[in-house]
Structure 1
Amino acid sequence: MELKLLNDQGQSTATIAAPETVFGRDFNEALVHQVVVAFQANARMGNRAQKDRGTVKHSTKKPWRQKGTGRARSGMTSSPIWRGGGRAFPNSPDENFSHKVNKKMYRAGLRAIFSQLAREDRIAVVEAFALEAPKTKLAAAKLKDLGVSDSVLIITDALDENVYLATRNLPNVAVIETRYADPLSLIHYKNVLITKPAMAQLEEMLG
């Protein structure tokens, strides 16, 4: 698998050999879907809570007598069928949304995503991505020169402070280290830029 190598002007002057173990795999849609759903589910926090009929504020007085009114019998206003009553099956604050995904499946899903991005020509390699100062204007100009200013995920071996500060205010731009590459970000952004050192790290992690 060959990936295009971009210069600072966004021109593809050459190609770089990408490891087939990471960028030459078949696309497994079911596996990628499972990995993405699990990643989103594991990021959820069980912090929502609802009250059942025992914890909702109510009176224990019987609303009306049992018989003779012509209405349905009722014992408490906390009944789930009453307005203002408790929930029948309330959400618990310690609810667990996590999905279990084996390491081999997770890595295989990442390899499938990287391979599909390479086939769609949405991945490019750069020697390095650095800025002289933490200025958003400099980052925007550099990304425009590279031709990826609309939507890009930049994967680097080590997060540079200037790059982080300069890009954090740009919409549809994210900079992450290789170890934090996740399936959701890879499919969310239109383009992916990888530095050469990060490419070696990817091969070590997923190869």
Structure 2
Amino acid sequence: MELAVIGSGKALSVSDAVFGREFSEDLVHQVVVAFRNAGRSGTKAQLTRSEVRGTTKKFKKQKGGGARHGDYRAPIFIGGGVTFAAKPRSFEQKVNRKMYRAAICAIISELNRQDRLKVVDSFDVSEPKTKALIAKLDEMGIAHPLIVTEEATEALYLAARNLPYVEVRDVQGLDPVALVGARTVIMTADAVKKIEEWLA
């Protein structure tokens, strides 16, 4: 298949396996959840009844005072232990490399089908100025993009970092969460070829 390159009038020949793959919602969901879970620290910790500091002395007699209680470390009291206390754990989910690459292909293919994937010859700014990047995006008529280049320059990173709706990635830093969350994806022709080599 071919992708139109904006501003050049040329077409870029790409693989159907990467840019024309059928979308699998279950696969994409599984990979996105696994990717986000891998970023969780899993360090949440609470104290159980046996771990709370304090006396274990029975604070009132067994009968005659209403409800029967042992000590103030019981979960129903303020400062007491937690009934099912959270403990540090790993949220990691196993995802095969083949599944991960297939999910990336499916997301890129769906972006292409929805006309949300834009290919340009190159994308850069001459100086690290946010105003220059905004003018460039306005000229293209694109808002809230994910910009993917083969190797993003420092000037482009600095120009985009103050815009909450613009994200810059190189091919090595591309991930499924960034692709799924983008309204529009701008890719350079070199980045397209590098992605094709990676996923083919």
Q: Into which bin does the TM-score normalised by the smaller protein fall?
A: over 0.9
* TM-score normalised per structure 2: 0.94
Contact 1:46 1:96 in 2 (8 A): yes
Q: How does 1:60-139 map to 2 (within 5 A)?
A: 60-66=56-62, 68-92=63-87, 94-139=88-133
Alignment match, 1:6? 6
Q: Partner letter of residue 172 of structure 2?
A: R
Task: Give unpaired runs (5+ residues) of structure 1.
Answer: none
- What TM-score does the superposition give when structure 1 sets the normalisation length? 0.91
Partner of 2:138: 144
In 2: Cα distance, 1:196 partner to 1:179 partner: 15
Structure 1 residue 205, shift from structure 2 partner: 0.6
List gaps (5 residues or longer) in structure 2: none
Secondary structure at the counterpart of residue 176 of structure 1: strand
Q: AA paired with 1:25?
A: R
Instruction: Count the aligned residue pairs.
Output: 200
Percent identity of paired positions between Structure 1 and Structure 2: 44
Kindly indicate whether the alpha-carbon contact (under 8 Å) linking 1:5 and 1:14 is maintained by their aligned counterparts in 2.
yes
Q: Give how far 1:4 is off.
A: 2.3
* Separation (CA, whole Å) in 2 of partners of 1:73 and 1:171: 56
Determine the structure 1 residue equivalent to 2:193: 200
**Residue 20 (structure 1) aligns with:** 16
Contact 2:12 2:189 in 1 (8 A): no
1:49-104 deviation digits (Å, cap 9, x = unpaired):
211112323322212112x3152322111112323210122112x31111111110
